[in-house]
């Protein structure tokens, strides 16, 4: 079985979406053992957007069914999309998918780029209509940097949870089993996740 870790390192140097909290870590050594004080945001590093991130009264991260975040997943290569992933990039590629992960040219990048590839509103409609329950991207956000929140609201309002800032650089297009579990943060709008894929082949 091949296992792909599709989680980016969470460190002080992690890619930071403008306006987000810069992760900080301070080791405390009391002479017998060490602990680390952490300052992170709910959307630091590879993370999940719960519906409550944009939808008032929406599910918080601790209320998302774990079955949504563990199960079959389809990786599709959208590297040819420069800044916008439209319906033409998804056409005939969604049938039978429950979780959809978008691999773009941003995988492997180490610095924020406001021109990252994002889902268009029309593509978001297509995703919802296809019954996708979880969509992920290797970009800093599923929505364009200049977006007005409509893509997030369309997806999250339909109950489609969102994973952002994955690392799919080493993952070929195909069918996988995914586990992407958040911390159980009571009432939170998101959480860092540890996300892996496996292909089920010995």
pLDDT 10s digits, 137-189: 999 999 999 999 999 999 999 999 999 999 999 999 999 999 999 999 999 99
Instruction: Write down the catalytic residue from 43, 53, 152, 177.
Output: 53
Is residue 152 flagged as an active site residue? no
Distance between first and last Cα of the chain: 4
Residue 153, number of CB atoms within 10 A of its CB: 18
Q: Which CATH fold would you assign to the domain 3-9+42-198?
A: Glucose Oxidase; domain 1 (3.50.30)
Task: Report the C-alpha gap between 188 and 63 in whole angstroms.
Answer: 9
Domain limits of the chain?
3-9+42-198
* pLDDT at residue 24, as a whole number: 97
* Three-class SS state of 14: coil
Task: Report the C-alpha gap between 45 and 59 in whole angstroms.
Answer: 21
Binning pLDDT at 50, 70 and 90, where does residue 201 land?
Answer: low
* pLDDT at residue 1, as a whole number: 87
Q: How far is CA 192 from CA 107, 122, 178, 201, in A?
A: 18, 28, 16, 28
pLDDT 10s digits, 9-38: 999 999 999 999 999 999 999 999 999 999
| pLDDT exceeds cutoff 60 at 68 | yes
* pLDDT at residue 202, as a whole number: 44
């Amino acid at each position: 079985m091949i296992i792909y870790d599709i989680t980016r390192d969470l460190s002080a140097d992690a890619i930071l979406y403008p306006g987000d909290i810069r992760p900080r870590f301070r080791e405390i050594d009391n002479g017998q053992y060490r602990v680390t004080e952490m300052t992170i945001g709910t959307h630091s590093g590879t993370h999940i957007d719960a519906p409550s991130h944009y939808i008032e009264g929406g599910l918080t991260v601790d209320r998302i069914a774990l079955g949504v975040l563990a199960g079959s997943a389809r990786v599709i290569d959208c590297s040819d999309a420069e800044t916008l992933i439209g319906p033409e990039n998804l056409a005939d590629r969604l049938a039978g998918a429950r979780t959809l992960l978008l691999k773009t040219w941003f995988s492997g990048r180490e610095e924020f780029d406001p021109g990252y590839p994002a889902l268009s509103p029309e593509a978001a409609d297509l995703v919802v209509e296809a019954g996708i329950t979880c969509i992920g991207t290797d970009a800093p956000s599923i929505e364009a940097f200049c977006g007005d929140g409509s893509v997030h609201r369309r997806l999250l309002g339909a109950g489609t949870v969102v994973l952002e800032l994955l690392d799919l650089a080493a993952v070929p297009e195909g069918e996988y089993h995914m586990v992407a579990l958040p911390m159980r943060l009571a009432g939170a709008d998101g959480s860092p996740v540890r996300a892996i894929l496996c292909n089920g082949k010995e």
